[in-house]
Amino acid sequence: MALKGNLRDFSVVQIFNLVNLAHKTGTLTLEGPNVAAWVSFREGKLIHAQLGNEDGTLLGVLTKSSKVRPEQSKLIKKHAADKSDKELGLLLINAGYLSQQDILASIQHYVLEVVYRLFSWIDGFFRFDNDVLPPDDHITIRLDLENVIIEGSRRIKEVEALADEIPNLDMALTFVERPGANIRNVHLNTMEWKVVSYINPKNSIRQIARANKMSEVEIRKIVYALLEAGLVEVVRPEGMPLPSQAASFKPVDEKQRATLVNRLIDRIRSL
C-alpha cells in the first residue's frame, strides 16, 4: 500500500522522519505546483534525488560542481554519450581525471541541494512507493537522514507552522529512549548544543530559551528540529501544577480501583 497525502497536512520533514524511523526502502514522489521531484531511500538512508527535468546525470552534476569544465563536458558527451553514469565514473577515475571521492562528494552535494529545496514545499501531493529504486546504472549515495532532517528544518521559515507544532513553551523536553538514537552522532550547531545541554524534564522550553537568550522563534526552530529528528519528546515539566479541574479529581483507593477495573473488564468482555 502506497503512503500518500497532501504536503500541507504532512510535511516533507515529517515524511523524511517516517522514512528514517521505519527504515523504509522506496521512492518518494513529490508533486509541487509546477514541478515534480523523486527522492529514493534504501533502509531509511537517502540515496538519490531528482528534481523535474534538471540534469541529474553524473556529467551534469560534475559540470555544476565545476569538477568538469564546460568544454570538457562537451568532449565527454561526444565520446562517451552511450556510457551509463557508473561506466562514465569508472572511466574518469581510471583516466586519473577525478577520484572516487570527488565523484561521490559531487553527487552528495547535488542530492542534498535538491532535498533542501524540497523542504520549502508546503503545497502539493506526495506518494511513497515501497521498493521502487533508481535504475542500477545510477550512482547512489548513502546518507543518514537525521542530519538531513535537522538541516532541512533549519531552513523552514514558516514561523506560524512552528508555533503550530510547538504551541506550548511551558512544556519540557526529554531525550527519547530509542535504540539507535544517539545525540553524539548528530551534527548540531553551537546554539543547538546549548539547548541540548539544558534538556531535562525540570526545565520548560521557555526557561531553556531564557537561559540561552533566545527568542520564541529561535527556540521553536531548534526544538522542532530535535523533535523531527526523533531525538527528544515533549513532556509535562516536573512539578507543574495540574489544571484546577484535573487537580480536583480524587483518586480512588488503589485496592478499590483494581477491583473496579477488573469488574469493568469482565463486563466489557461479556458484551
The one among 16, 17, 35, 59 contacting another protein by CB under 8 A? 17
What mask, x for binding another protein by CB under 8 A, covers residues 143 to 182?
---------------------xx-xx--x----x-x----
- Directed axis angle between helix 216-228 and helix 145-154, to 10°? 160
Residue with cell 484546577: 244
- Helices vs. strands in the chain: H and E counts, helices first: 12, 7
Asked whether position 269 contacts another protein by CB under 8 A, the answer is: yes
Could you tell me the smallest distance in angstroms from the CB atom of residue 62 to another protein? 36
The one among 93, 105, 183, 234 contacting another protein by CB under 8 A? 234
Alpha carbon distance 238, 173 (integer Å): 11
Maximal CA-CA distance, the chain: 85
176-195 binders of another protein (CB under 8 A): 176, 178
What are the cell numbers at 21?
524511523
- Give 53 or 244: the residue with its C-beta nearer to another protein: 244
Count the residues of the shown chain that bind another protein, applying the rule CB under 8 A. 45
Q: Please, are residues 149 and 225 in contact by the beta-carbon 8 Å criterion?
A: yes
Alpha carbon distance 73, 201 (integer Å): 57
Alpha carbon distance 200, 102 (integer Å): 42
Stretch that binds another protein, among 13-21, 29-37, 76-84, 199-207 (CB under 8 A): 13-21
Stretch that binds another protein, among 26-34, 150-158, 205-213, 227-235 (CB under 8 A): 227-235
Asked whether position 239 contacts another protein by CB under 8 A, the answer is: no
